[in-house]
Structure 1
């Protein structure tokens, strides 16, 4: 499978929890960035024979901060440089409030067929508290606009265990999210990352979080509620109606190859993982001089590839397939990771069948502890 990730680093506002590569939009050289991003894609496609692409994901930052002309320029270049398979998935990340009918129409006209919206909560007070600038009304308006333009495959992201959030509040958010009757939902527990506003507040003792028990209860409520509403959990944080699973993310969790373009983007081609410069100037300068903006390349050893196969693959509810592992690496999964498998089965975190190893329901609560055992 050929997969492509494209990064747009601009945001109209910086959320308090976000550690993705992003910059405040105002005063940035957005037009020049789009031109150089297209140049990077042209340079790479000249060096690689591209088979038809099955999934393109434009993420950020906030890709929908681009205006209609910039969106059209980017999308037309994607279509020109990456011929897609007939049923390819072409996704855009979006913020509620940015999704005007005119922007949606541009995306639709160029073949975008999936939207992923960062909603996070259906509580206006909480949205303010975490640094979001959209309101709940913006969410409803954006979903309506998307449906009006003809987008059926719409996903929303939620975050739980937010500062000051109660279990009842998260339950209310879940109810409102499911009332929209969308085919896909992602929900993540808040993680406090270094270099974020929340991290600084936490260091000063000014960030009050719900605590581990409440977080576990919210996750349990998430899993049972999604199940009840016909959204099957297929990964630790992702739920979908059958056929609407995110094919792009499945590429990552299946440890398959993908191209990464844009400031701070990562890719994995052949034996090599690579990363682009993150800061805008550092990303743009090599391209202005006719060079690629890659600052890091690492060729993976067999051991590293097998470890990645496990800690990425175990995120999927289906787990890691033993026959696939054997075919891919020429080694038995059971023999290679015997100690880690025995240890995690003993703790009730993992189960092993003749076909696969996968997290137990309890193991899903402790994913990072499980993954650590395979490193």
Structure 2
């Protein structure tokens, strides 16, 4: 069996105003201890999982490249030594444009990273400041070009819409700037104000000036129409790629394939269990040091859990879910359980069906969360 491997780097130079991920600024003093603890967890899990091969690795955060390059390359070498990576492994690292230079990119490429994901979000400097980003638009353009020049042939870029005071012209400009760059993949996310973020506090104070629903819809429609015209096909609700450059690691999540997460707050799904590590960096380090295990919570996946996740995760993909695969996995027909639900959603033009595949329509992609809720089963 082949597994996906995720490693979490919980450090960042500055917390973005929209971010509710488990990441922390001003904890640089813990970086060496953290990488030592993470390397210990890698060594332990690499031994326990020696019968498995790893065909996708994803180092995310936080901002992995806020680490000194020698710590990052040491971490990469530890992964390569302790796990059995396939020859065609997809090895991704997330990058904030301002936290690395061309030499650093070359070192990552030299050490085996072959896919890079840049958090750009926008190509307007005033907007970048308003959302708490520390890079400029020119820095983003330059570092993406640098990545291509050192040899990266699989480069992804993140954009956002629905941001405070953002205009439709700004979204159009950012998309057009992105597609000029030597990239193969784009992720586009609409802003969701999450509890505990700077934006949530501003919203409570009526100081967060977001585009209205009509304007946000126009932003969404522009992105969905424009990217395919330039060869970026939508293969998942928020993700677009040129042919053959879909994120193999993220596809594991949507296809309910097994993956292991290492590091603070990292999640895993493996052997019919879902589990995650301690979120606080200090607690994670101590648990690895004294217990050699940082798991904070573990649960067995019930039959109900697996059926629901097969449906609502699978429906995130453009290809949707296969009736045959559902039958092979669970031993009964998808429509025996969800027949009325599927027909109702088809009448509302949210779902479609072709050759045994059930998938979201364009309208369904827009209102995906509403569709997913229909696939939750009563206890």
Shorter-chain TM-score bucket reads over 0.9
Structure 2 residue 30 is the aligned partner of structure 1 residue 40: no
- Name the CA shift for 1:60/1:50 in 2 (closer, same or farther; >3 Å): farther
The aligned residue for residue 155 of structure 1 is 156
Q: How far apart, in 1, do the equivalents of 2:294 and 2:369 lie? A: 32
CA distance in 1, matches of 2:246, 2:227: 14
| Equivalent runs, 1:59-98 vs 2, <5 Å | 59-98=60-99
Question: What's the counterpart of residue 224 of structure 1?
Answer: 225
Pairing 1:33-182 to 2, within 5 Å after superposition = 33-182=34-183
Following superposition, the deviation at residue 77 of structure 1 comes to: 0.4
Q: State the SS of the aligned residue for 1:128.
A: helix
How far the C-alpha of 1:26 sits from its partner, in A, is 4.3
> Which residue in the other structure is 1:288 paired with?
289
Residues paired across the two proteins, number? 375
In 2, Cα distance between equivalents of 1:187 and 1:74: 29
How well do the aligned residues superpose, as a CA RMSD in angstroms? 1.1
Corresponding residue of 1:371? 372
In structure 1, the partner of 2:209 is: 208
Where do 5+ consecutive residues of structure 1 fail to align?
A: none
Q: 1:344 and 1:186, CA in 2 relative to 1: closer, same or farther beyond 3 A?
A: same
What secondary structure sits across from 1:186 in the alignment? strand
The answer on whether the counterparts of 1:234 and 1:317 sit within 8 Å (CA) in structure 2 is yes
Gaps of at least 5 residues in structure 2 are none
**Correspondences of 1:223-372 after superposition (within 5 Å):** 223-372=224-373
Q: Deviations over 1:77-129 (max 9, x none)?
A: 01111222111100000001122122212211221000000000011010000
The corresponding residue for 2:198 is 197
* Greater mean alpha carbon deviation, residues 196-205 or residues 177-186: 177-186
| Contact in 2 for aligned 1:71/1:106 (Cα 8 Å) | no
CA contact (8 A) 2:50 2:84 kept: no
Task: Note if contact 1:99-1:145 (Cα within 8 Å) is conserved in structure 2.
Answer: no
Give the 3 Å change call, closer, same or farther, for CA 110–268 of structure 1 in structure 2.
same
